[in-house]
Amino acid sequence: MTDALYELTIHEIHDLLRSKQVSAREVAESFIRRIEEVDSRVRAFITTTPEHALKQAEAVDEVLSRGDLLANPLVGIPVAIKDNMCTRGILTTCASKILYNYKPIYDATVVERLNESRAILVGKTNLDEFAMGSSTENSGFFVTRNPWNLDTVPGGSSGGSAAAVAANECAFALGSDTGGSIRQPASFCGVVGMKPTYGRVSRYGLVAFASSLDQIGPITKDVTDCAIVLNAICGKDPRDSTSLDVPVPDFTQSLRADVKGLKIGVPKEFFGFGTDPEVEDAVRSAVDLLVELGAHAEETSMPSVEYGLAVYYIIAPAECSSNLARYDGVRYGLRVAPDSGTVTRQTREAKSSIVSMFEKTREQGFGAEVKQRIMIGTYALSAGYYDAYYLKAQKVRTLLRRDFDKAFEKFDVLITPTSPTVAFGIGERADDPYAMKLADICTIPANLAGIPGISVPCGFKEELPIGLQIMARGLDEETLIRVAFTYEQHTEHHRKRPPL
């Protein structure tokens, strides 16, 4: 029995803990063994924390032995956290050499909330460096493999988190999504991933990539678990001015198989980016199924969507160029000594030696993709180019938001592919940055508009999962959960696990 615990969902493990059929320690041990068994092949984790996990699990068991603490469904549940969220005293590298040794002195708000829920941290997962990328190949340390086919990528940037969930190395994981970094890897790895509305989840302690787009969300084995995790992590945080002060509903109340009268829009532009025919078929079949169950579907058009990628690649690099300026070797992380010969006693020359330290540290600490984005962003914000690039991009972003507002006047949800294709081969798109960025073309618009989106498994192409993206109005995660849950109740895709 306990050997297969790692295969279970949050709600299944919760039931076993509550009926005292297993202890939290047994659960933690099962996942720790599973990581030992498969992670040398998957390589989802930058850091594993088995001792920490066992200590947390024992503390849970002790509390459980004294009385019932199981009102919270995350008690004793093993979680993996993307390595760009701060964990006090535990390495938080952002998969960057520049933070190779960085141990935060505080917990991110989401980590605090998971700790309060008494979830068990089993490790920190790999990502594209500073969450910049779509395949986890941009990690400064190593490439994570897709558990369905170890020669393909897990997607990115939350590739480690999605792979860890798919490979049963944790019961659920947290990812962050700036342009699709939760949904796209969830799609590639055949799991459920949600990017909540911008402001639903506190960003405090999430190492910033593009502050106006970043949002933390859950990666889970099914929609029920997604609702459970959302309940734990959503809500206003006084430490994040952009977090929204709105009531948080009990998302598990939306786990109802009912789409009668639901209005679905299918925007044709999302199928136009070299979408794989099998992906399009799977998505359209999913829409057909929902229609059979009582929903109405209609094709629609959102013309501004085609500018999404262009807008994103101005705004995100612009913000990142400023957000990543702090990595300079002065206070923490990597420090590379200045070129010898520049250090002298004169003030002016001493300054040039600090500049040399900045330059050497950043030159050796950042990878190629990060440097490219910093340069693009620096350029876009420069005097004389600001209006033409950054300001123009912000205006187009407003147009895109309006397109969504208009669509949601008519439809309750929009359904699209999560990504135009299934997982591609490792190295296959490494030399073709445009092809690489196309992987995010369907997910970026939701970030630009700040609306929630979820990816759920909706089929396979040659044993590789296909993802269905559902988007809803800002703050209407409840409808997303209801629609995704309804679809899941009538399909089996989410039950399949990779043959590791």
Partner 1 sequence: MAEYEPIIGMEVHVELQTRSKMFCSCEVAFGGEPNTRCCPVCLGLPGSLPVINEKAVEYMARAALALNCTILPQCIFHRKNYYYPDLPKNYQISQYDYPLGVNGWVEILAGGRSKKIAIRRVHMEEDTGKLLHVSGNRSYVDYNRSGVPLMEIVTQNPPPEGLDQIESAEEAREYLQRLRQILLYLGVSDVKMEEGSMRCEPNVSVRPKGQSEFGVKTEIKNLNSFRAVYLGVDYEIKRQIRVLEQGGKVVQETRRWDDERGVTVPMRSKEFEQEYRYFPDPDLVPLRFTEEWIEKLRSELPELPLAKLKRFMSDYGLAQADAEVLIDSPDLAEFYDACAVGYKDPKAVANWITTELLRLLNATGKKLNETKLTPTHLCGLLELVDGGTINRNTAKAVFEEMFTTGKTAPEIVRQKGLEQVSDEAAIESVVNRVLDANPNEVKRYRAGEIKLLSWFVGQVMRETKGKANPATVNKLLREKLES
- Residues that bind partner 1 in the complex, under the rule CB under 8 A: 85-86, 92, 94, 99, 102, 104-106, 108, 203-208, 210-212, 238-242, 318-319, 321-322, 325-326, 328, 330-332, 343-345, 347, 350, 353-355, 358, 378, 381-383, 386, 390
Q: How far is the CB of 108 from partner 1 (least distance, A)?
A: 6
Catalytic: which of 181, 187, 202, 455? 181
User: Closest CB to partner 1 among 343 and 396?
Assistant: 343
User: Closest CB to partner 1 among 54 and 354?
Assistant: 354
Q: How far is the CB of 422 from partner 1 (least distance, A)?
A: 33
Q: How far is the CB of 301 from partner 1 (least distance, A)?
A: 30
Residue 248, Cα to own-chain centre: how many angstroms?
21
Catalytic: which of 157, 187, 356, 419? 157
User: Closest CB to partner 1 among 19 and 340?
Assistant: 340
Q: How far is the CB of 88 from partner 1 (least distance, A)?
A: 10
Ramachandran region, residue 206 (left: φ > 0; alpha: ψ -120 to 50; beta: rest): beta
| Matching residue, tokens 């004169």 | 346
User: Closest CB to partner 1 among 87 and 455?
Assistant: 87
Catalytic: which of 23, 82, 139, 221? 82
Active site residue 82: yes
Task: Classify the C-alpha dihedral 386-387-391-392 as positive or negative.
Answer: negative
- The number of CA neighbours under 13 Å toward the Cβ of 357 is 16
Under 8 Å between Cβ of 142 and 126: yes
Tokens coding 219: 């990666």
Buried b / exposed e across 220-239, counting CB within 10 Å, b at 16+?
bbbbbbbbbbbbbbbbebee
**What is the identity of the amino acid at 439?**
A
Q: What is the DSSP string of 322-341?
A: HHGGG-SSSSSS---PPPTT
Under 8 Å between Cβ of 213 and 182: no
Distance CA 377, CA 449 (A): 20
Distance CA 21, CA 279 (A): 41
Q: DSSP E strands: which ranges in 251-405?
A: 263-267, 296-300
Buried b / exposed e across 97-117, counting CB within 10 Å, b at 16+?
bbbbebebeebbbbbbbbeeb
Q: How far is the CB of 84 from partner 1 (least distance, A)?
A: 8
Q: How far is the CB of 398 from partner 1 (least distance, A)?
A: 14
Q: How far is the CB of 76 from partner 1 (least distance, A)?
A: 27
Distance CA 359, CA 334 (A): 12
Tokens coding 178: 């700036």
User: Closest CB to partner 1 among 329 and 420?
Assistant: 329
Distance CA 289, CA 286 (A): 5
User: Closest CB to partner 1 among 350 and 388?
Assistant: 350
Tokens coding 90: 């535990």
User: Closest CB to partner 1 among 176 and 486?
Assistant: 176
Under 8 Å between Cβ of 445 and 407: no
Cis, peptide link before residue 157, omega less than 30° from 0 = yes
Torsion, Cα of 373, 375, 369, 428 (10° steps): 90
Q: How far is the CB of 420 from partner 1 (least distance, A)?
A: 29
Active site residue 181: yes
- The number of CA neighbours under 13 Å toward the Cβ of 109 is 20
Q: How far is the CB of 124 from partner 1 (least distance, A)?
A: 13
**What is the identity of the amino acid at 301?**
S
User: Closest CB to partner 1 among 354 and 396?
Assistant: 354
User: Closest CB to partner 1 among 264 and 324?
Assistant: 324
Catalytic residues: 82, 157, 181
